[in-house]
């Protein structure tokens, strides 16, 4: 089993709480193993995501306050690839064959990402070369990486689970 971890860069606690939370929720729902928030700790975001994992299942981790360069160095030393999602990168369809089946650290920016990230990344990948949301880019990237199989993922240790319905809203609670 290969590891997929999201490195959230440039999180600004006063401005990005909701968007970073959405990055983590998409990462979890679409098959990633966890999120690392570089540079700062945002206990509120971490608490919100951990509550989702507690209620809806996991495994999934979130942690913050780490130096992004050390995370990248560790990931690379452990044999993983660094993949930077950016609208300036190569088209996702061109690079996916080189990424599948590998341990990936996927860098997702909030504000402008330091130029050094482009240089240290093994792959700079664009879902589109137009301005767009990092949340949307992450969802599309992970969906294509996993061929859509993540949409059927079963989470372990759940307390709440949605029962799909055509016109109903049913939530099953763990007995």
pTM, full prediction = 0.95
C-alpha 20/C-alpha 76 separation (Å) is 24
**Per-residue pLDDT tens digits for 47-60:** 999 999 999 999 99
Ordered by start, the domain boundaries in the chain are 4-173
3-state class (DSSP) for residue 136: helix
State in words which class domain 4-173 has. Answer: alpha beta
pLDDT tens series, the chain, 175 aa? 699 999 999 999 889 999 999 999 999 999 999 999 999 999 999 999 999 999 999 999 999 999 999 999 999 999 999 999 999 999 999 999 999 999 999 999 987 889 999 999 999 999 999 989 999 999 999 999 999 999 999 999 999 999 999 999 999 998 7
What is the pLDDT at residue 112? 82
pLDDT of residue 1: 65
The CA distance from 41 to 107, in Å, is: 17
Q: Are strands 34-38 and 4-9 parallel, antiparallel or unpaired?
A: parallel
**155: enclosing H helix or E strand:** none
Q: At which residue do the structure tokens 């301005």 appear? A: 131
Q: Residue 99 contacts by C-beta under 8 Å, 6 or more apart in sequence?
A: 81, 83, 123, 145
């Amino acid at each position: 089993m290969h590891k997929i971890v999201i490195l959230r860069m440039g999180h600004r606690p006063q401005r990005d709480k909701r968007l970073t939370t959405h990055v983590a929720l998409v990462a979890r729902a679409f098959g990633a193993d966890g999120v690392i928030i570089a540079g700062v700790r945002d206990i509120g975001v971490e608490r919100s995501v951990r509550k989702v994992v507690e209620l809806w299942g996991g495994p999934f981790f979130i942690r913050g306050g780490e130096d992004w360069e050390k995370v990248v160095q560790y990931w690379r030393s452990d044999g993983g690839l660094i993949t930077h999602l950016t609208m300036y990168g190569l088209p996702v369809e061109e690079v996916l064959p080189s990424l599948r089946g590998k341990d990936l650290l996927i860098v997702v920016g909030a504000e402008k990402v330091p130029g050094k990230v482009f240089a240290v990344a093994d792959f700079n990948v664009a879902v589109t070369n137009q301005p767009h949301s990092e949340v949307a880019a992450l969802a599309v990237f992970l969906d294509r990486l996993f061929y859509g199989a993540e949409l059927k993922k079963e989470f372990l240790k759940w307390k709440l689970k949605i029962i799909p319905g055509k016109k109903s809203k049913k939530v099953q609670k763990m007995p």
